[in-house]
Amino acid sequence: MFRSTQRYPTLAADLALVVVAFIWGTTFVLVKSALQEIGPFTFLAARFWIAFLALGLPLLGRLWRGERSLWRNGGLLGVVLFAAYAFQTAGLRTTSASKAAFITGLSVVLVPLLAALWLRQLPRPVAWLSALLATVGLALLSMPLGQSLVVGDGLVLGCALMFAIHILLVGRYASRHDPLALSAVQMGVVALLSGAVAPWAESLPARLSPVVWGALLFTALLATVLALVLQISAQRRTPPHRAALLLTLEPVFAALTAYLLGERLTPQGWAGCALILIAMVMAEVVERNG
């Protein structure tokens, strides 16, 4: 995909991550409606099994011939991705969706911190400033001020940590493997783990309504297959801290989607969107001017 854009490889990668953020942001209403009829782990299991079958079946030969490192690295990505969703699901039982959205967005700050401490890839100062602006923007957009913390907030913080680790690991492994094969392996791992947990954590539905099927197909084919392949491909060209920054557009797109469906942002929310966009532009301009 990105080999044909030799003149602007970084721009193409950045745009791909914006598309990923857009897809993830627009799934909020669908998933919220589906979870009224189906448990979260059952939903995750069905979503990732559909995604794995859609992507994995055409790649069976490639996966079968894959090196051990593909299965090892893809398996690790899958475990981390499952942990992120598990923390988020458990946390949402005791905290609000708006607070969870903000805390999950803290991954934009955790990525450069972990990169500095773990991978020894100290970002430039603009990355820290951009991350700070994006975090403040997420706070204004997603979390009313003055609310107290609950146990679920700590669990969602674990989700943010897992997403940050996932972004860093994708940055490390993306260039080593076929992005399609790597995506398929991690999808299969999430499907297996979610399917193993679901019978113990919740009651299985007797049937699935058209609303649930619609949400499953949309999230499986677009928010999972397409989005994860785009993310892995894009992170071959984009450093982890900027990938995390671009992915903070997810709550912005979620807010815009809700606006089109009748919800209205407060002035505080629009200020948050503006700060996130300023942080992105600032990081991009400084990066290109070197």
63 is a domain residue: yes
129 is a domain residue: no
CA atoms of 47 and 161, how far apart (whole Å): 23
251 is a domain residue: no
109 is a domain residue: yes
> Whole domain around residue 220: which residue ranges?
17-123+144-235
258 is a domain residue: no
131 is a domain residue: no
CA atoms of 215 and 36, how far apart (whole Å): 12
Give buried/exposed letters for 5-26 (b at 16+ CB in 10 A, else e): eeeebbebbbebbbbbbbbbbb
pLDDT by 10s per residue, the chain, length 290: 334 444 456 788 888 999 998 998 888 778 877 888 888 899 999 999 999 999 888 887 777 777 788 899 999 999 999 999 888 877 776 776 667 777 787 787 788 878 877 767 677 787 788 888 888 887 787 666 555 556 777 888 899 899 989 988 988 888 888 888 888 899 999 999 999 999 998 888 888 899 899 999 999 999 988 998 898 888 888 887 778 778 878 878 877 777 777 766 678 877 887 888 788 777 666 555 55
103 is a domain residue: yes
174 is a domain residue: yes
Question: What domain count does the chain have?
Answer: 1
